[in-house]
Amino acid sequence: ALLPLMREDGTVVMVSSGMGELSCVSPALQGRFLAPDLDLPALSALMREFVDDVAHHRHREHGWPSSAYRVSKVGLNALTRVLAREHPKLRINAVCPGWVRTDMGGRSAPREVREGAASSVWAALLRPNGPTGGFFRDGQPIDW
């Protein structure tokens, strides 16, 4: 909904997680998420498959993890790639803040909030010729 309102050289920062790395799904699903022609309708259908598979207790046999959080981050990362391809003048990236000491991360998390936020700030301040369609932690690319 916001894309039409953005400046032509705008930046979108998706907050993802290392939990969204594709290694959590089967090789067959990895291929579908990485398909070069993946578009929004196909991604939406793929995500609905997970919901349907969970509802029918067959998600494991179809190569999905049991964690909806993980699958949501896999989907977010795929959405990042799709949107970056569809809107090449924008910079659209996903960042992983790491395990951060927050109410969600808990007291045992090794990173301070400032450290986790640094990835989002870095991505938000990218120059117009900066990377797009990537997944980053601490300004460095990480595997999908």
Residue 12: strand, helix, or coil: strand
CB proximity list for 125: less than 8 A, separation 6 or greater: none
Helix, strand or coil, per DSSP, at residue 137: strand
Q: How far does CA 106 lie from the centroid of its chain?
A: 22
Return d(Cα 50, Cα 115) in angstroms, integer: 33
Distance CA 114, CA 61 (A): 40
Alpha-carbon separation of residue 95 from 46, 57, 86 (angstroms): 22, 31, 19
Angle at 68 between CA 67 and CA 71, to 5 degrees: 95
69 tagged catalytic: yes
Catalytic residue among 3, 9, 69, 124: 69
Known catalytic residues are: 69
